[in-house]
Amino acid sequence: MSFRENLKRARSHIVFMAALASGLGLIVFLEHQSTAGASVVATDVELAEPPAPVPTALELFNDVAPLPLAAPRPLTEQELDYARTAWIYFANNTNPETGLANSADAYPSTTMWETGAYFTAILSANLLGILETDEALARLSKTIETLQTLPLFEDTLPNKAYHTVTAGMVNYANQPSELGLGWSALDVARMMSALGMMRTHYPTLATEIEALVDTWDVAAMVDDGQLFGTNVIEGEIHLNQEGRVGYEQYAARAMQRFGYDMYSAYETGEKLMVKTVQGVLIPVDTRLHRGTHPAFTVSEPYILDGLEFGFDNRSHRFASSIYQAQENRYTTTGILTAVSESHVTGPPYFVYSTIWGGGDEWAVMAFNGDRYDSKRTVATKIAFAWNALFDTPYTQKLVEDLSHLHDPDAGWQEGLYEVDGSPNASITANTNATVLASLAFRAFGPLSHAKK
C-alpha cells in the first residue's frame, strides 16, 4: 500500500489527535489566565488598608487633657469663716441623744448617705481646727454607738431613712415604718467611705468601726462585683442593681477599702457612652434609669471621688470634662452654671440638675424622670468643690457670686435658682458637708489621706 493511501486511511486519527491537542492547549491557556487573575485579585486584597478600629467610648477620653489640680495651700481668714459657717449647720442639727444629724435644717430625718456626709464634715472641721479632736471623737463615738443598735431592714442592712430623734426606721414622710423602705447600696457605700476615713484618721475608733460593720450584712448588697439594693413596692421586696456611671465607680472605690472585689462596678466597659455637650465629651451610662428613661450625668459623684479619694486617671478626665462643659456654658451664654443633685424649695423637693440626662443636655429631673427645668440651681457645694479641685478664674467667680448665701447662724443655702437668681433657701447636710470637705481638701488634699 502506498504512503498516500496510508495517509488517507489515518486521516481520521490525525484529526482526532489534532483536536485533542488543541483542546489541551486551550485548557492550559484558560488555567493560566485564571491563575493570573487570581493573583491579581489576591494582590489587590493584600494592598488594601484594613479599616481603622473604632475606638471604645472610654478610649475617646484618651484625648481629653485632665485639668491641673489645685495645689494645697493654707486657707485665708475668709475661707476659714466660710468653713465655720458650714460647721454651724451640724452644731444646730445634731441630736445629742442619738448623735444623728438632720438631713435638712430642723428636719429630723437622715439617711446613710447624709450620715456619711456628717462624718466627713466632722473630719474636715477637725482638720481645719474648727473642731477639737476630743469633740470630734465624742461625736463620732456617739453616732457609731447609735448605728450599732439601729433596726435594720430585714435584719440585713440600714433602712433608707431614719428619724434622728428616735433612731427608728421611717418612710419617706418621716413616719415610723415597721417594714421600712429597703436599703440603698449607694448610700451604704457612702457610709463605708466615711467609716474608712474615720478608721484611718482616728485609729482609737477602729474597733468600734469594725464592730459596727460586723452588725451589717454588707455582703448581701454585693454580687459578682456589682452593687444591689432593695425596694419595697406594694409590700413586696425587690432586689435591683444600683449605680450608674459616676456613682457606681465612686461606690466601688469606697467598698474596695473594706476588701470587697468590685471589679464589675468599677469598670465602665460597655456601660459607657459619650455625648457632646458644649463641645465637650461627657460620660453617660448606656443603661436606663429605673428601666424607664436614659440615665443622667451630674457633678456629685465626681467631686466626691476627687475630694475623698483623690482622682484616678479615668475619674480625673471625666471630672475635667464635666466641669469644662459647665464653664463653657457660662462662657457661651453668660449663665452661671454649677449643677448637681439638690434639695429645692417646694415640690418635688429634690432634683438632679444634669449635664446630660433623660435624653437631653442640662435637663433637671426628679428621680421618677419628670422634668423641672425651672428648678435648676447654681449649687453652692459644686462651686466650692470645683474651686477646691481646679481653682480656675471661673470657679473663683462662682464662689464669689454665691458668697452672700451663707448665714453665720444657720449654714450655707443650696444656691441660686437660675431662672430668676433668687435663693434656693434650703439648708442641708450635704451642702454644708461638701463646703467643709472642699475647704479641707484645699488645705490638705484628698481627705482619705490628708495630713495636717
pLDDT at 292 over 60: yes
| Domain assignment present for 22 | no
Section 167-183 average pLDDT? 97
Helix (H) or strand (E) holding 281: strand 280-285
| Domain assignment present for 11 | no
Contact 285, 233 (CB under 8 A): no
| Domain assignment present for 17 | no
Can the peptide bond before residue 68 be classed as cis, meaning omega within 30 degrees of 0? no
Cα–Cα distances (Å) from 218 to 17, 119, 153, 213, 227, in that order, read 93, 19, 12, 8, 10
Helix, strand or coil for residue 155? coil
Q: CA 185, CA 183: separation in Å to the nearest integer? A: 6
Average pLDDT, the chain: 90
Q: Would you state the pLDDT for residue 143?
A: 98
Helix ranges (DSSP H) in 391-428: 393-402
pLDDT at 448 over 70: yes
Give per-residue pLDDT as tens, 95-137. Answer: 999 999 999 999 999 999 999 999 999 999 999 999 999 999 9
- How many angstroms from the chain centroid is the CA of residue 274? 14
Q: Would you state the pLDDT for residue 33?
A: 42
Q: Would you state the pLDDT for residue 46?
A: 53
Structural domain that includes position 338:
57-440
pLDDT at 30 over 50: no
Q: Would you state the pLDDT for residue 22?
A: 44
Q: Would you state the pLDDT for residue 451?
A: 86
Q: CA 363, CA 373: separation in Å to the nearest integer? A: 6
List own/partner pairs for 237-244 with CB under 8 A and 24 or more apart: 237/154, 237/182, 238/182, 242/184, 242/185, 242/186, 243/185, 243/186, 244/271, 244/285, 244/287, 244/289, 244/295, 244/296
Q: Would you state the pLDDT for residue 447?
A: 98
Contact 90, 310 (CB under 8 A): no
336: which 3 cell numbers? Answer: 452661671
Section 24-46 average pLDDT? 41
pLDDT at 13 over 60: no
Q: CA 38, CA 154: separation in Å to the nearest integer? A: 72
Count: domains in the chain: 1
CATH number, position 232 = 1.50.10.140
Give per-residue pLDDT as tens, 138-155. Answer: 999 999 999 999 999 999
90: which 3 cell numbers? Answer: 451640724
Q: Would you state the pLDDT for residue 298?
A: 97
| Domain assignment present for 2 | no
- How many angstroms from the chain centroid is the CA of residue 277? 17
Which range has highest mean pLDDT (31-35, 51-55, 384-388)? 384-388
pLDDT at 29 over 50: no
| Domain assignment present for 417 | yes
Contact 379, 309 (CB under 8 A): no
Rg (CA), the chain: 33
Section 210-226 average pLDDT? 97
360: which 3 cell numbers? Answer: 437631653
| Max Cα–Cα distance, the chain, nearest Å | 141
pLDDT at 39 over 70: no
Q: Would you state the pLDDT for residue 261?
A: 95
| Domain assignment present for 352 | yes
Give per-residue pLDDT as tens, 303-341. Answer: 999 999 999 999 999 999 999 999 999 999 999 999 999
Q: CA 256, CA 395: separation in Å to the nearest integer? A: 31
186: which 3 cell numbers? Answer: 449607694
| Domain assignment present for 14 | no
| Domain assignment present for 39 | no
